[in-house]
Structure 1
Amino acid sequence: MPAEQTESVSAPVTGYRIILPDDWAHIPLRHGTEEAIRSILDEAFSHIAGEASTDRVGPFKRELERRLRGTVARARESGALDLYLPVQSTSGVNVGASFLVSENLLPNRGKETGAHGAPADIAVQLLSSDGVDDADLSSGEIDGALAVRREHIVSADPDRGADLASRRVEYMVSVPNDPDRWFVVAFSTVGGGNPRDELADALVEWFDAVMGTLRWSHG
């Protein structure tokens, strides 16, 4: 999705850019999805080729592909634009952490002054509308745009493929010059099996750093 940036920052926002390490992969969910999946799987499979017999590698490859495609399918069902996953060069795809990028469009309430309310209030209302309790909320700016951050724990839900509880961090960012559009980035990790363990803490800190690299693309 990331688009070319023009010289004029006052032009409409057409995309975004973030900085990721090489061991994370981007899967666009509207166009180019299958190509991205095949690239990830081919890379993963290339590292295990010849390491074991076909009888042993075959089932592993099939399970790896099944899990990756299941993760992509659930991301698409949520209406997300992009999915980001960590990949491991020696053992394939690690779905113990991921984040989704999506967009939230507010209903058109007219252009009169004050029709939308304060952006921070709108963000909090949107984040609070799904009934999440005991969440930590904070706000700030990302690339000059208002951002509201929410962090909370989500219980395990095996029926939806979530066998373990997870730590969620969500950013809602107001798209510059367009009060109806909100950019939403939702990170999830199970840590080392406990969403409050040291690994989960480190991954949340890493995700916050990634969000600090977000820049808008204009066109």
Structure 2
Amino acid sequence: MTVANEQVSGQAAEDGTAVEPAPPSSYRVITPTDWFRIPLLSTDKRNRAVQTLVDMTYPNRDQDAARRHDLKELLGTVVADAAQRDGVELYLSTQGIVGVPIPATLLVTAEPEDPEHPVRLPPEMLADGIRDKYGEGAAVSVVALPSGPAVRCRRQELTPDAKELGQPEERPNTLLEFYLPVPHTGAWLLLTFSTPIPELADAQVEMFDAIAGSLRWA
């Protein structure tokens, strides 16, 4: 993700005035090796990534033709929805235990600076707004990550799309969201982790916390 197109070096301008620190130009985040990354900013790149994942999952084109078709359609829908939500990249877990998949996702989205309101809300005020939005069902706090302060929100959600796919109402997704202010800008980076298995939610959330803690500005 490109956060800023210009870099500023040095501590002061030639006339002696202070130079504002430069915003980061990108970020880095470490995910498990069995998580598959799909870039979302380019239609061609995300389509190629979807095809690669289909080929990895069902390499036999003839024997698994129907499954390949269904998976490609499902992934295409998920990826298109993520891109429409201003997604930068999407990570899908391909991890499994004894052949059973352990689904989890990470969607990274960018919320650009509002030109009309260039002063960003302090994380504490954003946390208050999220509490008001989701109520007692969300655990919201301001946390200190190596990349800087962030607002952390754990909650449950069952989207209409998940219902259409047959997910029971009594088994909603567990979401873990991190709102990270982009240094020296009014923009935010949002990490949205999700897992649909309540029995593994606590263990998955521990892993999600570790992934969020790995993010570094570049």
Higher relative contact order (CA 8 A, sep 6+): 1
Q: Distance in 1 between matches of 2:88 and 2:166?
A: 21
Check if 1:45 corresponds to 2:58.
Answer: yes
State the 1:96 CA deviation. 3.1
**Residue 186 (structure 1) aligned with residue 192 (structure 2):** yes
Q: Does the 8 A contact of 1:143 with 1:216 survive in 2? A: no
CA contact (8 A) 2:39 2:90 kept: yes
In the superposition, relative to structure 1, how do residues 125 and 185 fare at CA in structure 2: closer, same or farther (>3 Å)?
Answer: same
Q: Which runs of 5+ in 1 are unaligned?
A: none
Q: Is the 8 A contact 2:93 2:104 kept in 1?
A: yes
Moved more, 208-217 or 119-128: 119-128
Aligned to 1:87: 94
- The two structures have a TM-score, normalised by structure 1, of 0.76
Residue identity (%): 28
Superposed CA RMSD in Å reads 3.4
Counterpart contact for 1:44–1:89, Cα < 8 Å: no
1:85–1:95 Cα contact (<8 Å) kept:
no
TM-score, scaled relative to structure 2: 0.76
Q: Give runs of aligned pairs for residues 40-189 of structure 1, distance below 5 A.
A: 40-46=53-59, 49=60, 54=63, 57-87=64-94, 96-109=103-116, 116-117=120-121, 119-125=122-128, 127-128=130-131, 130-131=133-134, 133-155=136-158, 157=160, 158=162, 161=165, 163-164=167-168, 165-178=172-185, 180-189=186-195
- After superposition, the Cα gap between the structure-2 partners of 1:62 and 1:116, relative to the gap in structure 1 and judged at 3 Å, is closer
SS class of match (1:66): helix
One-letter code aligned to 1:201: D
**Moved beyond 4 Å, runs of 4+:** 128-133, 158-162
Q: How far off is 1:88 after superposition?
A: 5.1
Change (3 A) 1:160 1:214: farther
Are 1:136 and 1:151, in contact at CA under 8 Å, matched by a contact in 2?
yes
State how many pairs are aligned: 199
Letter in 1 for 2:25: T
